[in-house]
Amino acid sequence: MAYKVLVAIDSTGLSELVLTSLSKQLVPDQAEVLVLEVVEPLLYTAPPEMSPGYQPEMAARRKERREQAKRIVDSAVEVFRKAGFKAEARVSEGEIKDGVLQAAAEWGADLIVVTSHARKRVAKFFHRSVAQAIVHEAPCSVLVLKELARKVVAA
């Protein structure tokens, strides 16, 4: 039975790190890959009288973000398929941690791969690490690729 690997990517440019790392480490006929990007909902505040005017613009932005995410996951899936993997793409909307964990549970992932951004202490205080939150609650093993490991993985 194929080892199911859920690859959670984002649009920060670390996707390249994930792809380089994984395509070298997994055996195509033994692993099945799901590439997922969870798009966070757009949050905005506006006075009620402005909402009607803002609504179409926000809808267009949401669509644009989903399309951008779709392009990213599709190109990632293409890399895996070219390397001989059975791979599929998925884009969902919601909180990143919840989206990744839900997809992992539904799909029955054996391994979740995430990247961790090297935030400074103050930034970390305000933006709790999503990667760490996923590791905390994941039902399976989690591989955390560090941003600073880019050179190590590429070597």
Partner 1 sequence: MYKNILIPTDGSELAGKAVQHGTTLAKALGAKITALTVSLPFHVFTFDTGMVEDTSTDYKRSVQERTEKTLAAVANTTKAAGVQCDTVHVQHEHPYQAIIDTAKSKGCDLIVMASHGRRGVSAVVLGSETVKVLTHSKIPVLVHR
Contact map string, positions 19 to 48, toward partner 1, x by CB under 8 A: --x--xx-x---------------------
Counting contacts by CB under 8 A, is residue 2 touching partner 1?
Answer: no
Counting contacts by CB under 8 A, is residue 142 touching partner 1?
Answer: yes
Among the residue ranges 46-54, 75-83, 89-97, 132-140, the one whose residues contact partner 1 (CB under 8 A): 132-140
Counting contacts by CB under 8 A, is residue 83 touching partner 1?
Answer: no
Residues 6+ apart with CB under 8 A from 105: 139
**Cβ-count burial of 59 within 10 angstroms (0-12 exposed, 13-18 middle, 19+ buried)?**
exposed
Counting contacts by CB under 8 A, is residue 144 touching partner 1?
Answer: yes
Counting contacts by CB under 8 A, is residue 100 touching partner 1?
Answer: no
**Quick one: 59 or 118, whose CB is closer to partner 1?**
118
Residues 6+ apart with CB under 8 A from 2: 30, 31, 32, 86
From its phi and psi, is residue 122 left (phi > 0), alpha (psi between -120 and 50) or beta? alpha
Distance, CA of 65 to chain centre: 14
Counting contacts by CB under 8 A, is residue 81 touching partner 1?
Answer: no
Footprint of partner 1 (CB under 8 A): 21, 24-25, 27, 116, 118, 129, 131-132, 135-146, 148-149, 152-153, 155
